[in-house]
Amino acid sequence: MVKEFLERWEENKWKIRESLKTKLPNYYEELVKLVTSNITAEMYEDFAPDPERIHTIDDGNYQGTLLFIIGEKGYDPTIYYSLFVDYGSRTVCDTLQGILDNKDWEELPTESQVNDFGFAYCAGD
C-alpha cells in the first residue's frame, strides 16, 4: 500500500504545488486534506482515504504531535489510515508556522514559500 501512495504522490504532487501557489494552508489539517484529495482521485479505485473523513487528535498545547486518522471512501469504512505530524510553538520549531509567518496575507504565496513545502521541482510545471 505504501508503494501505491508514493506513486500517487509522484503523479500528483504538481497539482498540490499549483494549489499552494494560490493559497497556503492555515493549519496542518488543511494541508492533510489537500494532499489526501490529490492522492485519492476518482481514477484510483482502491486504497482511497476520504479527505472528508479526517479526524484529528491533538493532545499537545503549544507543541506536540498531531495524529490524523483518515477513513477510507465509501459506506461504512473498514480501513483507516494514520499520519503523525510534530509541531512546535515557534516559527523556528514548526515548519508550517515558519512558512506562514513569512507571508504578506494580501499577496499570493511566493515561489519560495511553495518551495518550502518540498515542491521545488515537480513534473507538470
- Sorting pLDDT into bands at 50, 70 and 90, what band is 108? confident
Predicted local distance difference test score (pLDDT) of residue 119: 64
Greater confidence, 120 or 59? 59
Mean pLDDT of 116-123: 63
Predicted local distance difference test score (pLDDT) of residue 92: 66
Question: Is-contact 64 51, C-beta < 8 A?
Answer: no
Express each pLDDT in 2-27 by its tens digit.
787 788 888 888 888 898 888 888 88
- Name which of 95, 91, 88 is nearest 63 in CA terms: 88
Question: Is-contact 68 83, C-beta < 8 A?
Answer: yes
Mean pLDDT of 88-115: 77
Sheet of strand 80-87, all strands in order from the earlier edge strand to the far edge: 49-58, 64-72, 80-87
Question: Is-contact 67 84, C-beta < 8 A?
Answer: yes
Question: Is-contact 14 118, C-beta < 8 A?
Answer: no
HEC sequence for 22-59: HCCCCCHHHHHHHHHHHHCCCCCCCCCEEEEEEEEEEC
Predicted local distance difference test score (pLDDT) of residue 29: 94
